Structure 1
Amino acid sequence: MRCKTLIIAALACLLAGASGAMAGENIQVGPRPYYLVENMDDGPLKESLEMCADKPLKRTAFSIGHRGAPMQFPEHTRESYEAAARMGAGVLECDVAFTKDRVLVCRHSQCDLATTTDILSIPELAAKCSKPFTPARLDPATGKVLEPATAMCCTSDLTVEEFKRLKGKMDASNPAATTPEEFLGGTPSWRTDLYTATGTLVTHKESIELFKKLGVKMTPELKTPSVDMPFDGDYTQEKYARQMIDEYKQAGVDPSMVYAQSFRLDDVLYWLKSEPAFGEQAVFLDEDGVGEFHQDKPATWSPTPAELKAKGVRIVAPALWMLVTVKDGKIVPSAYAEAIKAEGMKIITWSLERSGLLTDGGGWYYQSIKDVVRKPGDTYTLVDVLAQQVGVIGIFSDWPGTVTYYANCKGL
């Protein structure tokens, strides 16, 4: 049976990785890529991916660890980063926020501590939250949630010493919670709490040292502050953006190893002007998709690829769905993707395997191709279009082993 063959091949691949595909490496992607391949529709792509089943694996910069490997590990933790590197991610991401005493730390959002850490279980730290825990209001007869439980705890509420007391957990909350302990639950069924016994939070500087040790490139994202800037009177956005780059310079990291990111175009333009060595690989994270944007209607694009190119932007990173559309029942590059390529800019995209199961169209990240996405194996159909037709240079994934396998198979 083909399934049995693939499982045997997966074990063989793990053994090959254990012997070292490259000096000092032990790349293991586990069974997931083989499961996805087995689930694909029969055809040339499936056959080509099957033929790579026993191929030794190497680390690849095409595979980017989105917050590490948060499908199963608490995001932006040492354990999550190490898991992503083990799966062959050649680039790791630290989303950068700042503490009350202006130390840069790795958090996806400045104010996500209530859902990504155990802060609510530490009363003296929970008391410092911008918005303390408020229990859900439930219908006494039915138990239905009338008003969801809420809490907002920010890195800027804590000193770095206090921040380091926290433990990372899976990003989730329970809207029906009536106690802080209940609020900490809510992990989606397609993720797991198996690896939450430890969740070591790191500062930005610590992430740099860890990434150097792991031998990977680095893609810090300067998070848009959730507090008013200047913070505490004189900490401006420019100081914040400069501080992030300065920490790479202080650590002796070559600019070619860093892909600084921001959703704020002004941050990217600042780096291009003030730190050109780092600005050359600065990434503009494109979120046009949250407005009236349509990937095949140029009138809805703002800024346009031509406008970005004119400002000096070299790398653009739109969401997955912005780069693809459906034509004659098949996934193909969108007009937006073609326009970016026409301007000669490089493309990175985000974030694969963040939507859970694809049995219902895949959710937000797959919205432009939902009519043709129906099963897990469709993941590789999308990846192949992004790699071979759109021409992306990297894909963020919540489970980097999936992208690592494809990249090795296709020589990327």
Structure 2
Amino acid sequence: MSLLRQTFSGLLLAALTGPLLAAPAQLGPRPFFLVDDMAPSLLRQELRACARQTQQYTRRDLAIGHRGAPLQFPEHTRESYLAAARSGAGILECDVAFTKDKELVCRHAQNDLHTTTNILATPLAAKCTTPFEPATFDATGKLLTPARAECRTSDITLAEFRTLRGKMDASNPAARTVAEYLGGTPSFRTDLYAGPSSGTLMTHAESIALFKRLGVKMTPELKYPVVAMPFDGFTQEAYAQKLIDEYRAAGVPPSDVFPQSFHQPDVLHWIQHNPAYGQQAVFLDDANTVADLPTREQLKAYKRAGIHIWAPPTFALLTTNAQGRIVPSQAAKDARAAGLKLITWTLERSGVLADGNNGFYFQTIDSAITREGDVMNVIDVLAREVGVIGIFSDWPATVSFYANCKGLP
């Protein structure tokens, strides 16, 4: 083989097996639209000046791809992960569930296949815990019972799971047919990237291999099962351990992994039995209101137990002051005082803002959200005043742009 051909072959092999997307992040127009939509402020001036610069934007760890980039791409699919990395996410999330044969796969819940995949339109629908049941109506057309179904990863084998395609997470409660039920995508999202040739589902191990090639860090969430545990002899502890074992088998250093769970015993298992990986274990908080948040003493107890990172929903870390400005909440101050690092979830998931009712994630600061651009103020307070180390987002470019402009990791 000539030297020229040897050189070309080497370059081709590197392109096929080396890190993907080594190019700078491609942020697209959304971050710049949000900056232009901000009310006049010093922050707006700074971000607009940054936007005018001809700099290269790079991926940032502050931007965590929540399920990938599900604002536009079907969650937990290869296409969604690629979009998240391209748009600047430095960390990507695989939510982990298990199949009937106890293999780990990327799904937000063990029982969401009926809303996030095409399973109901395939022969595998017969294996669902609850096959499709159409909505019923009275003689006037009033909805009596909504359409329903429940399909679990544990209903099918890994081989069967691989035959499915991902779709945007949605369902139509008024559906009379499977085709109608599989619709219902919110208007602020899109089905443009959810065609039959996309929506590639992934195992946990496949996500690890992809993330390594992308050169990003990883934050797997162990989803609590809806089936009784042990499942066919598979204990909760074995489930938690298998997640870590797949990172070990892939040679991923603990510094690149942030394992997370809402179930505290999972986090403590990692800390006690896998201390290298447990150092970055994330205890997720499922509080629905401020009243549900842990007390100062409980936060201190987390730290004493070896938990270093607490991850509550965004509303938990923010409030407004007497002037109506967004500021750190008492819970945020208490967590920092306890020595905890903070991650929060989730931006770009509330649809159109400034409608006076922005829902769960902004419940403590809704009065301060008056336009789309105010999301940049939210990011600024989270990063600069609360001091979070990561922000989950359904469209990571928004956070990545801010982090690039502020010189944050």
TM-score, normalised with respect to structure 1: 0.91
User: In 1, are the aligned partners of 2:21 and 2:214 still within 8 Å (CA)?
Assistant: no
Which of 337, 358, 362 does residue 362 from structure 1 map onto?
A: 358
- Is residue 206 from structure 1 mapped to residue 201 from structure 2 by the alignment? no
RMSD value, Cα: 1.4
Q: CA deviation at 1:303?
A: 7.3
User: In the alignment, what sits opposite 2:388?
Assistant: 392
Q: CA deviation at 1:23?
A: 9.4
- One-letter identity of the residue aligned with 1:77: T
- Aligned to 1:127, the other structure's residue is in SS state helix
Q: CA deviation at 1:292?
A: 3.7
- One-letter identity of the residue aligned with 1:317: A
- Is residue 304 from structure 1 mapped to residue 298 from structure 2 by the alignment? yes
User: In the alignment, what sits opposite 2:188?
Assistant: 190
Give the Cα separation in 2 of the matches to 1:89 and 1:235.
33
Correspondence list, 1:305-324, <5 A = 305-324=299-318
User: In the alignment, what sits opposite 1:11?
Assistant: none
Give the Cα separation in 2 of the matches to 1:28 and 1:218.
20
Give the Cα separation in 2 of the matches to 1:101 and 1:291.
40
- One-letter identity of the residue aligned with 2:366: K
CA deviations on 1:140-194 (whole Å, 9 max, x unpaired) are 31x2322110000000000001001110000000000011111000000000000
Aligned residues: 383
User: In 1, are the aligned partners of 2:288 and 2:360 still within 8 Å (CA)?
Assistant: no
User: In the alignment, what sits opposite 2:17?
Assistant: none
User: In 2, are the aligned partners of 1:114 and 1:153 still within 8 Å (CA)?
Assistant: yes
Give the Cα separation in 1 of the matches to 2:60 and 2:23.
12
Correspondence list, 1:138-217, <5 A = 138-141=137-140, 143-197=141-195, 198-217=198-217
- Is residue 333 from structure 1 mapped to residue 328 from structure 2 by the alignment? yes
- One-letter identity of the residue aligned with 1:351: T
- One-letter identity of the residue aligned with 1:265: Q
| Distance of aligned partners of 1:106 and 1:23 in 2 relative to their CA distance in 1, 3 Å threshold | closer
Q: Which runs of 5 or more residues in structure 1 are unaligned?
A: 1-21, 295-299
Give the Cα separation in 1 of the matches to 2:97 and 2:297.
26
- Aligned to 1:51, the other structure's residue is in SS state helix
TM-score, normalised with respect to structure 2: 0.92
Question: Runs of 4 or more off by more than 4 Å in structure 1?
Answer: none
Give the Cα separation in 2 of the matches to 1:327 and 1:84.
34
| Distance of aligned partners of 1:158 and 1:303 in 2 relative to their CA distance in 1, 3 Å threshold | farther
- Aligned to 2:192, the other structure's residue is in SS state coil
Which of 338, 343, 352 does residue 338 from structure 2 map onto?
A: 343
- Aligned to 2:382, the other structure's residue is in SS state helix
| Distance of aligned partners of 1:105 and 1:138 in 2 relative to their CA distance in 1, 3 Å threshold | same
CA deviations on 1:223-264 (whole Å, 9 max, x unpaired) are 0101110012x1100000000000000011111110000001
Give the Cα separation in 2 of the matches to 1:33 and 1:144.
42
Give the Cα separation in 1 of the matches to 2:126 and 2:166.
18
Which of 28, 40, 43 does residue 42 from structure 1 map onto?
A: 40
Segment drifting more, 202-211 vs 369-378: 369-378
- Aligned to 2:62, the other structure's residue is in SS state strand
User: In 2, are the aligned partners of 1:288 and 1:301 still within 8 Å (CA)?
Assistant: no
Which of 32, 49, 52 does residue 51 from structure 1 map onto?
A: 49
User: In the alignment, what sits opposite 1:7?
Assistant: none
Give the Cα separation in 2 of the matches to 1:194 and 1:303.
48
User: In 1, are the aligned partners of 2:63 and 2:399 still within 8 Å (CA)?
Assistant: yes
Q: CA deviation at 1:291?
A: 8.2
User: In 2, are the aligned partners of 1:79 and 1:199 still within 8 Å (CA)?
Assistant: yes
User: In the alignment, what sits opposite 1:16?
Assistant: none
- One-letter identity of the residue aligned with 1:319: P
| Distance of aligned partners of 1:205 and 1:23 in 2 relative to their CA distance in 1, 3 Å threshold | closer
Q: Which runs of 5 or more residues in structure 2 are unaligned?
A: 1-19
User: In 1, are the aligned partners of 2:271 and 2:281 still within 8 Å (CA)?
Assistant: yes
| Distance of aligned partners of 1:99 and 1:27 in 2 relative to their CA distance in 1, 3 Å threshold | same
User: In 1, are the aligned partners of 2:78 and 2:200 still within 8 Å (CA)?
Assistant: yes
User: In the alignment, what sits opposite 2:286?
Assistant: 287
User: In the alignment, what sits opposite 2:247?
Assistant: 248
User: In 2, are the aligned partners of 1:289 and 1:322 still within 8 Å (CA)?
Assistant: no
Give the Cα separation in 1 of the matches to 2:36 and 2:354.
16
- Aligned to 2:111, the other structure's residue is in SS state coil
Give the Cα separation in 2 of the matches to 1:40 and 1:385.
15
CA deviations on 1:74-118 (whole Å, 9 max, x unpaired) are 000000000000011000000000000000000000000000000
- One-letter identity of the residue aligned with 1:226: V
Q: CA deviation at 1:362?
A: 1.7
Give the Cα separation in 2 of the matches to 1:255 and 1:129.
37
Give the Cα separation in 2 of the matches to 1:340 and 1:301.
9
- Aligned to 1:172, the other structure's residue is in SS state coil
Give the Cα separation in 2 of the matches to 1:363 and 1:377.
17
Q: CA deviation at 1:359?
A: 2.0
Q: CA deviation at 1:138?
A: 1.5
Give the Cα separation in 1 of the matches to 2:104 and 2:296.
31
- One-letter identity of the residue aligned with 1:398: D
- Aligned to 1:325, the other structure's residue is in SS state strand
Give the Cα separation in 1 of the matches to 2:166 and 2:24.
26
